[in-house]
């Protein structure tokens, strides 16, 4: 098995080697720009690690990895427009740099480019690869829509929240890993199990992100701690607090909507501490992590071949940023 650092080189080289039409430049320049901003490349790396797990040819799996990374960055362009975000990975967002309309069109053509990449996989697995890619892409869009709808709802349940993060975040990890298995000609039961591993790991990862947003080290987290509290985002922590808090504390929480940012963060965090919300979130995170590792343990490959994936999962779930 290759280590993630070795696999990342395949991705970066493929991104570097990918060219786009030169005309009209303003349509294609944003694609090169956002693809070149870096990031962890987590999803394509996990796709290639999945292919590697099943003894596949990594180079043959690169088109699928590029499809996933291109699609992911397409969603980031459109997410940034919806969020009116000025920065992405410390740099100007595409809509800030080129304008909203060009950003929408560049995002649209990135979806076309993603489809061009996926059609370059082995013809023998093209149909299941396309089916998996399309189901994954559709799920991500559904998750984003649910996330936006939750902003105007006060009755979101924890079950609905988990399903939303499953769609918005986790299906892309699961779909990427299933694509890696498909391209490696793995047995379909094993491809389904690696999907379950990726999806449950993705849910655990997002729950960890919810926790870090409140309790992370500001020096290491990479963004402002307490951002979810300031924006009244319906995270697992917020929904669990609403479920457990007394009527008096719920009124206090409601009154904090208009509070200054610093006061709001400190007082909401104090409520989280009072009701042991961090511990509740950690239990839920561990539940999905356990489900992920249970699926991985059922895959019919030698245990030694799973070692790098287990190490990566442990690294992701013990991160501080």
d(CA 103, CA 98): 7
Which tokens sit at 291?
């489900």
Q: What is the largest CA-CA distance in the chain?
A: 62
pLDDT 10s digit of each residue in the chain, 321 long? 899 999 999 999 999 999 999 999 999 999 999 999 988 899 999 999 999 999 999 999 999 999 999 999 999 999 999 989 998 888 999 999 999 999 999 999 999 999 999 999 999 999 999 999 999 999 999 999 999 999 999 999 999 999 999 999 999 999 999 999 999 999 999 999 999 999 999 999 999 999 999 998 877 655 668 989 998 999 999 999 999 999 999 999 999 988 898 999 999 999 999 999 999 999 999 999 999 999 999 999 999 999 999 999 999 998 766
106 SS3 class: helix
Q: What pLDDT, on the 0 to 100 scale, is given for residue 218?
A: 74
Q: What pLDDT, on the 0 to 100 scale, is given for residue 220?
A: 67
d(CA 181, CA 19): 27
Fold of 4-317: Farnesyl Diphosphate Synthase (1.10.600)
Q: What pLDDT, on the 0 to 100 scale, is given for residue 269?
A: 97
pTM greater than 0.75 = yes
Q: Other CB atoms closer than 10 Å to residue 221's CB: what's the count?
A: 18
Helix 171-183 with 42-53: angle, nearest 10 deg? 40
Q: What pLDDT, on the 0 to 100 scale, is given for residue 96?
A: 96
Q: What pLDDT, on the 0 to 100 scale, is given for residue 196?
A: 98
Q: Which H or E element spans position 32?
A: helix 25-35
Q: Other CB atoms closer than 10 Å to residue 6's CB: what's the count?
A: 14
Pairing between β-strand 91-92 and β-strand 87-88 as defined by DSSP bridges: antiparallel
Q: What pLDDT, on the 0 to 100 scale, is given for residue 299?
A: 97
Task: Provide the residue ranges of all domains of the chain, joining segments of one domain with +.
Answer: 4-317
Q: What pLDDT, on the 0 to 100 scale, is given for residue 69?
A: 98
């Amino acid at each position: 098995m290759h280590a993630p650092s070795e696999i990342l080189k395949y991705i970066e080289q493929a991104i570097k080697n990918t060219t786009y039409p030169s005309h009209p430049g303003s349509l294609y320049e944003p694609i090169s720009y956002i693809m070149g901003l870096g990031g962890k490349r987590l999803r394509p790396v996990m796709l290639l690690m999945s292919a590697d797990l099943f003894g596949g040819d990594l180079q043959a799996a690169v088109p699928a990895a590029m499809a996933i990374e291109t699609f992911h960055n397409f969603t980031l362009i459109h997410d940034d427009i919806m969020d009116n975000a000025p920065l992405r990975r410390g740099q100007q967002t595409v809509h800030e740099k080129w304008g909203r309309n060009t950003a929408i069109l560049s995002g649209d053509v990135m979806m076309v480019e993603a489809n061009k990449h996926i059609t370059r996989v082995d013809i023998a697995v093209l149909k299941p690869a396309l089916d998996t890619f399309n189901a994954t892409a559709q799920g991500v869009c559904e998750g984003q829509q649910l996330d936006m709808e939750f902003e105007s709802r006060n009755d979101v349940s924890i079950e609905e929240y988990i399903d939303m993060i499953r769609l918005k975040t986790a299906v892309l990890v699961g779909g990427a890993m299933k694509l890696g298995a498909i391209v490696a000609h793995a047995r379909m039961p094993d491809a389904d199990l690696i999907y379950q591993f990726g999806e449950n790991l993705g849910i655990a990862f997002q729950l960890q992100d919810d926790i870090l947003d409140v309790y992370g080290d500001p020096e290491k987290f990479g963004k402002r701690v307490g951002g979810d509290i300031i924006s009244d985002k319906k995270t697992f922590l917020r929904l669990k607090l609403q479920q457990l808090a007394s009527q008096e504390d719920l009124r206090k929480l409601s009154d904090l909507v208009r509070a200054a940012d610093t006061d709001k963060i400190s007082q909401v965090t104090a409520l989280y501490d009072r009701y042991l919300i961090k511990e509740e979130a950690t239990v839920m995170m561990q539940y999905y992590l356990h489900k992920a590792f249970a699926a991985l343990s059922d895959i019919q490959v030698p245990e030694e071949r799973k070692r790098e994936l287990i190490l990566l999962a442990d690294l992701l779930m013990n991160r501080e940023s």
